[in-house]
Amino acid sequence: MVDLFVIGGGINGCGIARDAAGRGLSVTLAEMGDLAQATSSASTKLFHGGLRYLEYFEFRLVREALIEREVLLRAMPHISWPMRFVLPWHADMRFESDTPTSKLLGRVMPWMKGRRPSWLIRLGLFMYDTLGGRQILPGTRTLSLEGTPEGAPLQERFRHAYEYSDCWVEDSRLVVLNARDAEARGARIMTGTRVQSADRHADHWVVTTQDAATGATTRHRARMLVNAGGPWVGDIIQGTIRLNSTEGVRLVRGSHIVTRKLYDHDKCYFFQGTDGRIIFAIPYEGDFTLIGTTDADHQDPSVKPECTPEERDYLLGFANQYFRRQLTADDVVWAYSGVRPLYDDGAQSATAATRDYTLKVDQAGGAPVLNVFGGKITTYRRLAESALEKIAPFFAGLPGAWTKGQALPGGDFPVDGVGDLVDGLRRDHPFLTEPWARRLVRAYGTEARGILVGARIAADLGVDFGATLSEAEVVWLMDHEYARCADDVIWRRTKLGLRLTVDQVAALDAWIRARWAQRQAAAE
């Protein structure tokens, strides 16, 4: 019997598993697909406080997220880093009509109804700079767009902007690193494992799982259950653990498009639309630009979210209000979409639904279960700490919080140490190009050396799958990071799917499946 059985291998499930294992609890986690296969690999890839959430008066959420930015930067400087955001301003900017700030301003200053004046933006950015405190990230400044690199890709009507700090994160790698650290601390991580049922007893749960590859079923006993099913949290409550609960989620689809690189500098743009919504345009994977996101209700978690033609055109049209170069559907090289499982707070629109998290313990009729609703990637570590506060009463003598200041695998180096790691790799492995070495450091940090150990020439790394992806790296991902197919490697552990051809992907997938078959045969 284990202490905790966690359902769901997204950021919340893996974060809770890591925190719990580090406090000495025995933990098993089951994910029906790959880690981060759903919501946690389909974000806008930002660690941010959520500037627009200030308009909804979500001050606690914003403050917690702002504080977390620098905590997380120190823990994972390979997969997260500071970025500067350029917010162009013009007189046509509008609120969404249902934000609390818009409603208040409309009552107090009716002549400003619907407008987002520059003084209000400056006030919001002042709060953004001060609510959470800053030690690493620089503060806001006013920026001229005339004759500057930041203004070059924008239409001439934009004359000035505000520039502030937030952070980038490789979202799906964050999930994998949390799972790995949980496993290193004693947790059992099972991917490709569907929870078929969970039966409640007086002092424990009996959970039945099925292995997707073999079809074999296994029964597990746990003192407590954690439902971190993301978009499926409601289905798990109703169908798997069969609780009589009124709590629910609101599924909100967020879609993104990727184009070829639209500008030459390394800053992001924060664009405000005439409809009151916002989108980001972000430098992506060196040669691309990421644009997103939308907010649309999504009814069924079993229906795979996809960027619809209407959402694609909305994002293109939004970006075209700002960029000189007018984008068309032909400029889109990739699109992706994810479903945010927000706590259903009864908001009128998908955009207005709270991004805060809600944790509910149910112990009526037997062993306890913790249901996890909502949350955002920036506050996953604090969500896990809050979850352990809910769990602690059921496990006497449980140690306190420990994850703050603890590096994730590969992150044991200074925030500004990426350049030194890249230079060190290239000195020891001269065949590496600078982009190749930088990609490895950004993915694996100090563990990149483990992939390259003993390699004097590129051929020592084995099969070349294309786009600098080597056999040695794929073996590492299979042996250490739970990769089972090509998609796991090229879309969640890396983003090399943007660079590989269809034939290269097919060859990679065949190679991985053959190696898995060999491993299973050897184990029998």
Which sign, positive or negative, has the C-alpha torsion 394, 398, 404, 408?
negative
- The domain made up of 417-523 is a member of CATH 1.20.1050.10: no
For 511, the token pair is 């190679």
Residue 464 neighbours by CB under 8 Å, 6+ apart = 458, 470, 471
- Alpha carbon of residue 192 to chain centroid: 20
Q: What's the confidence (pLDDT) of residue 276?
A: 73
Pick left, alpha or beta for residue 242 (phi over 0 → left; psi -120 to 50 → alpha; otherwise beta). left
Whether 348 has a pLDDT exceeding 60, the answer reads: no
pLDDT in tens, 510-523: 999 999 888 887 87
Q: Report the DSSP beta bridge partners of residue 169.
A: 80
Q: What's the confidence (pLDDT) of residue 56?
A: 66
pLDDT in tens, 272-289: 887 778 899 999 999 999
**154 φ, ψ (degrees, to nearest 5):** -95, 160
Please identify which residue in the block is written with the tokens 């352990």. Answer: 388
Residue % of the chain over a pLDDT of 70: 92
The CATH number given to 2-34+172-245+354-394 is 3.50.50.60
Query: How far is the C-alpha of 182 from the C-alpha of 314, rounded, in Å?
Result: 40
Query: How far is the C-alpha of 388 from the C-alpha of 234, rounded, in Å?
Result: 21
pLDDT in tens, 137-161: 899 999 999 999 999 999 999 999 9
pLDDT in tens, 180-191: 999 999 999 999
pTM reported for the whole predicted model: 0.93
pLDDT in tens, 383-431: 999 999 999 999 999 999 999 999 999 999 999 999 999 999 999 999 9
Mean pLDDT of 297-307: 90
40-170+250-340 and 417-523 have identical folds: no
Note the helical H segments in 193-295: 233-235
What's the angle, vertex CA 367, arms to CA 364 and CA 368, rounded to 5? 70
Query: How far is the C-alpha of 491 from the C-alpha of 88, rounded, in Å?
Result: 32
| H-helix or E-strand spanning residue 339 | strand 332-343
Query: How far is the C-alpha of 149 from the C-alpha of 267, rounded, in Å?
Result: 10
**203 φ, ψ (degrees, to nearest 5):** -130, 15
Whether 170 has a pLDDT exceeding 80, the answer reads: yes
Size (the chain), residues: 524
Looking at the structure, give the CATH architecture of the domain made up of residues 40-170+250-340.
2-Layer Sandwich (3.30)
Q: What's the confidence (pLDDT) of residue 96?
A: 60
DSSP 175-218: HHHHHHHHHHTT-EEESSEEEEEEEE-SS-EEEEEEETTT--EE
Q: Is-cis flag, bond preceding 293, omega within 30? A: yes
Query: How far is the C-alpha of 229 from the C-alpha of 211, rounded, in Å?
Result: 17
DSSP 70-128: HHHHHH-TTTEEEEEEEEE--TT-B--TTSHHHHHHHHH-GGGTTB--HHHHHHHHHHH
Range name among 9-18, 31-40, 125-134 with the lowest pLDDT average: 125-134
Whether 304 has a pLDDT exceeding 70, the answer reads: yes
Q: Exposure string (b/e) for 169-204, b if CB count within 10 Å is 16 or more?
A: bbbbbbbbbbbbbbbebebbbbbbbbbebbebeeeb
For the chain, what are the domain ranges?
Answer: 2-34+172-245+354-394, 40-170+250-340, 417-523
The maximal CA–CA distance of the chain, rounded, in angstroms, is 76
Query: How far is the C-alpha of 138 from the C-alpha of 73, rounded, in Å?
Result: 14
* Through-space distance between the first and last CA atoms of the chain, rounded to whole angstroms: 26
**447 φ, ψ (degrees, to nearest 5):** -80, -10
Helix, strand or coil, per DSSP, at residue 378: helix
Pair 504, 466: CB distance under 8 Å: yes
Whether 377 has a pLDDT exceeding 70, the answer reads: yes
Amino acid at 144: S
Q: What's the confidence (pLDDT) of residue 132?
A: 75
Pick left, alpha or beta for residue 64 (phi over 0 → left; psi -120 to 50 → alpha; otherwise beta). alpha
Q: How far is CA 498 from CA 234, 312, 489, 501, in A?
A: 34, 18, 12, 9
**4 φ, ψ (degrees, to nearest 5):** -125, 135
For 495, the token pair is 């983003």
Please identify which residue in the block is written with the tokens 């917010």. Answer: 87
Residue with the larger pLDDT of the pair 508 and 114:
508
Confidence grade of residue 118 (pLDDT, cut at 50, 70, 90):
confident
Mean pLDDT of 487-493: 97
DSSP 285: T
Mean pLDDT, the chain, rounded, equals: 91
Q: What's the confidence (pLDDT) of residue 90?
A: 81
